[in-house]
């Protein structure tokens, strides 16, 4: 009976450990390297959560209508090692973002870098490449 219980517990632990692997995605599965874009907008929210950070940006269109964009960045650990913390960019800051749009064409993109109003460039991955892109190693 103890052996069966040990096997069941081990199986449950292994399944739970695999959940983060299923949740993580590859760049090419979600974003299109052939859809580069530059977004100018105001930072409204910043989520430093694993496995990637998320930046919410309000972008004003030519018609004056505001739309929210979600920009994926590197992991919180990567950003902190690059000197980018929650205190580096304040909510309400105007940003210019170099990014790649989601394949489905929604208001979601993966960011390469931010350019602050003073011209300072903040990279969103360790080597200045696309987080999770083929050939990049943002944890390096």
In a domain, 11, yes or no: no
pLDDT of residue 58: 98
- CATH number for the domain that contains residue 46: 2.40.50.140
CB 56 within 8 A of CB 68: yes
Provide the domain count of the chain: 1
Instruction: Give first-to-last CA distance, the chain, whole Å.
Output: 46
| Mean per-residue pLDDT, 49-69 | 93
In a domain, 8, yes or no: no
In a domain, 30, yes or no: yes
b/e for 6-30, b at 16 or more Cβ within 10 A?
Answer: eeeeeeeeeeeeeeeeeeeeebeeb
Which has the minimum average pLDDT: 88-92, 111-115, 134-138? 134-138
Domain that holds residue 56: 26-123
In a domain, 33, yes or no: yes
């Amino acid at each position: 009976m103890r052996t069966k219980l040990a096997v069941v517990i081990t199986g449950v632990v292994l399944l739970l450990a695999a959940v983060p692997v299923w949740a993580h995605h590859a760049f090419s599965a979600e974003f299109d390297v052939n859809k580069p874009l530059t977004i100018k907008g105001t930072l409204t929210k910043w989520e430093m959560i694993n496995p990637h950070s998320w930046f919410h940006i309000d972008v004003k269109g030519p018609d004056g209508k505001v739309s929210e964009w979600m920009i994926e960045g590197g992991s919180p650990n990567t950003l902190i090692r690059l000197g980018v913390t929650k205190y580096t960019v304040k909510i309400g800051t105007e940003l210019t973002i170099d990014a790649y749009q989601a394949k489905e064409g929604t208001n979601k993109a993966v960011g390469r870098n931010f350019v602050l109003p003073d011209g300072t460039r903040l990279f969103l991955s360790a080597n200045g490449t696309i987080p999770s892109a083929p050939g990049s190693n943002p944890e390096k």
